[in-house]
A = this chain, B = another copy of it.
Amino acid sequence: MARDERGVTAQSEDFASWYNELVLKAGLVDRGPAKGTMVIRPYGYRVWELLQAELDARIKASGHENAYFPLLIPQSYLEREADHVDGFAPELAVVTHAGGKELEEPLVVRPTSETIIGEMMAKWISSHRDLPLLLNQWANVVRWEMRPRMFLRTTEFLWQEGHTAHADEQQAREEMLLALGIYQEVARDYAAMPVAPGEKTPGERFAGAVSTMTIESMMRDGKALQAGTSHYMGTNFATAFGISYAGMDGREELCHTTSWGMSTRMLGGIVMTHGDDRGLVLPPRLAPYQVVIVPITRGDGTEVVAAAQTLAEGLRRAGVRVHVDDRDQLSPGFKFNDWELKGVPVRVELGPRDLAAGTAVLVRRLGDQGKQSVQLDTLPQLMAGILEEFQMFLLARAAEFRDTHTSDVEDWAAFESGVASGWVRALHCGQPGCEDDIKTMTSATPRCVPLDGPPQTGRCVRCDAPAAYGKRVIFSRAY
């Protein structure tokens, strides 16, 4: 297997190996000791914190309040909603012993919190005045994974889960779309991931939901990543947990609830949307270091390092996240590779000759990668624009990649060839059996019925039965 000097398999050669090696080598994660667990290292955690801050601000600004619910849930709670327990039972981690004794009732480590939050909502809501109840929690959840993969499918992951209760269906469905809109905005404007918002087909719904909305994003191997989901639960959980309210007329009514989540899986999405053979490519808005300054020193580098620190100060004052790599035991070339591997958007090289000329050399991680000589004293003012341009470039590049790997298909041969390397939009009958058949034949699944798809009728691309949904469905292999 061909590896470059840093030991990462080329993306084009073996995408899965490239990914698995890169997330470790770039210092985003490490393997935890228990099966399928991950350690999120500082470099990866910082990306999560930056994403978290944006998501949290939007969740709060739209009227939601953060709270925290217990990790351990009585097993019987999950059994109250039949579809929910069917969906999650195979993935549960169960605490049977605590405090040196066997528990009377086992506790499950939350795989998601609809049940325990439903129980509390039932206690807190009594009148229409208590609605809507708009809650969010930042938490860890555990779902036992047979085929774990860093960020994408791990036994434990971090996420936010919004949980809301409303007086009627319309308000709950609006909430579901509001959350989806936040996810779309954060994915697009921060992760530079152009996503397709849409509704899941019944077979792909969340366990216990009436409707599941998703944002789907294309990775550079043409597969889809479900990057965030938002669910309308109807009155399913309200019935199971007794979440009801007295209306203005005094009559007791069931609440309509929603839940929605975005997780550390997004970090895997960022890696697979922008990365290349040389390593990560981080969108500036989520990059721990937006700029790294590498002083080029031979012999005594005191003066150059001092100038690098001064430049860094100027950049910091201009609001740029900057790092000076002054490790003296490493060569500039090693450092260049190292920061390319770590996906830093902009590298600034500063040597004695540059310094004498009052300039520095600027190199972008992608796009125009030529070495560009810039005036040292103008860099702090210019950098915000350079980073913003880079951010826009990544989004445009990802959108172009997606569009050139997406096709409308009318027949089965085109469908099969389309999902081998990207997404297809096709008419489908909506029958679960036909979905299964397609999955068996091609590994592709219906990703979503896009919200913005134009109306279209016709016959199923696979079985020729009349098409459902009134529009095309996106099919793809997926993570």
A residues within 8 Å of B by Cβ? 30, 32-34, 37-42, 45-46, 48-49, 65-74, 77, 89-100, 106-107, 109, 116, 119-120, 123-124, 129, 135, 139-140, 142, 144-146, 155-156, 158, 327, 329
Contact = CB atoms under 8 A, between A and B. Distances in A.
Given A34-B74, A70-B156, A91-B99, 9 more contacts: A30-B124, A32-B116, A33-B119, A46-B65, A71-B109, A72-B93, A72-B155, A92-B98, A93-B95
Given A33-B74, A34-B73, A119-B33, A67 B39 contact: yes
A194 B155 CA distance: 42
A42 B135 contact: yes
A115 to B, nearest CB: 9
Contacts of A120: 30, 39
Given A42-B65, A95-B93, A329 B71 contact: no
Contacts of A99: 90-93, 144-146
Contact of A98 (B93, B107, B139): B93
Contacts of A144: 98-100
Contact of A140 (B67, B124, B140): B140
A323 to B, nearest CB: 12
A71 B156 contact: yes
A129 B329 CA distance: 10
A124 to B, nearest CB: 8
A54 to B, nearest CB: 16
B146 A72 contact: no
Contacts of A98: 92-94, 144, 155
Nearest to A105: B34
A95 B74 contact: no
A39 B100 contact: no
Contact of A68 (B100, B158, B327): B158
A110 to B, nearest CB: 10
Contacts of A93: 72, 95, 97-99, 107
A49 B52 CA distance: 14
A37 to B, nearest CB: 4
A183 to B, nearest CB: 21
A143 to B, nearest CB: 9
Contacts of A40: 67-68
Nearest to A30: B120
B97 A94 contact: yes
21 contacts: A30-B123, A30-B124, A34-B70, A34-B72, A34-B73, A37-B72, A40-B67, A41-B67, A48-B68, A49-B66, A71-B109, A71-B156, A72-B109, A72-B142, A92-B99, A94-B96, A96-B97, A98-B144, A98-B155, A99-B144, A129-B329
Contacts of A139: 140
Given A33-B116, A93-B98, A96-B94, A42 B71 contact: no
A139 B39 CA distance: 13
Contacts of A48: 68
A406 B352 CA distance: 64
Contacts of A45: 65-68
A55 to B, nearest CB: 14
Contacts of A107: 34, 93
Contact of A70 (B39, B42, B49, B135): B39
A32 B123 CA distance: 11
A165 to B, nearest CB: 14
Contacts of A155: 70, 72, 98
Contacts of A142: 71-72
B94 A39 contact: no
A332 to B, nearest CB: 18
A269 to B, nearest CB: 18
A37 B99 CA distance: 14
Contacts of A329: 129
Give me the 7 closest cross-chain CB pairs, A-B, nearest first. A99-B144, A42-B65, A37-B70, A32-B70, A93-B98, A40-B68, A94-B97
A100 B96 CA distance: 13
A334 B94 CA distance: 45
Contacts of A158: 68
A142 B97 CA distance: 13
Given A119-B33, A144-B98, A39 B68 contact: yes
A155 B74 CA distance: 14
A90 B97 CA distance: 11
